[in-house]
Amino acid sequence: MSADRPANISTVTDATFDEEAGKPGLALVDFYADWCGPCKVLEPMLDRILAQHPEVRMLRLNVDENPLSTAQFQILSIPTVIFFRDGKQLGEPILGAQKPAVYDALIREYSSGADAQQPEIPAEA
């Protein structure tokens, strides 16, 4: 992790996933691979978004190195982002690199305590 990355971003593995995702609060999990072009586009965008939301943790999981978590969440395409609160998955996985407004809207909605369904995504997203 580079020195200019927000402190609320960390890498997880199959061995640490459940413990880290189960911590209190809102977590965004970024399922990625080092060779994935869209993943490389998404990473700095998520870094910027998370810098504005220090209350949200981002956990990054390399799908090539962590097959158990990848299979558990049926990750078939990357990048995939899944939100968790207190270890419980919120909404549906977000597939592909989306515009920043998509992730920002989800963070705002899930931070307000919503978890039953996917929130409305802004039309301009």
Confidence at 2, pLDDT banded by 50, 70, 90? very low
**Number of structural domains in the chain:** 1
Maximal CA-CA distance, the chain: 39
Q: Per the residue annotation, which of 9, 26, 33, 39 is the catalytic one?
A: 39
Give helix then strand counts, H and E, for the chain: 4, 5
Domain membership of residue 1 (yes or no) is no
Supply the range of the domain harboring residue 91.
9-111
Domain of 83: which CATH number?
3.40.30.10
Domain membership of residue 31 (yes or no) is yes
Domain membership of residue 97 (yes or no) is yes
Q: Per the residue annotation, which of 12, 21, 36, 82 is the catalytic one?
A: 36
Alpha helices in 1-125, H assignment, sequence order: 17-21, 37-51, 67-72, 100-111
Domain membership of residue 119 (yes or no) is no
Domain membership of residue 30 (yes or no) is yes
**Tens-digit pLDDT profile for residues 60-115:** 999 999 999 999 999 999 999 999 999 999 999 999 999 999 999 999 999 987 65
Residue 98 a catalytic site member: no
Rg (CA), the chain: 13
Residue 26 a catalytic site member: no
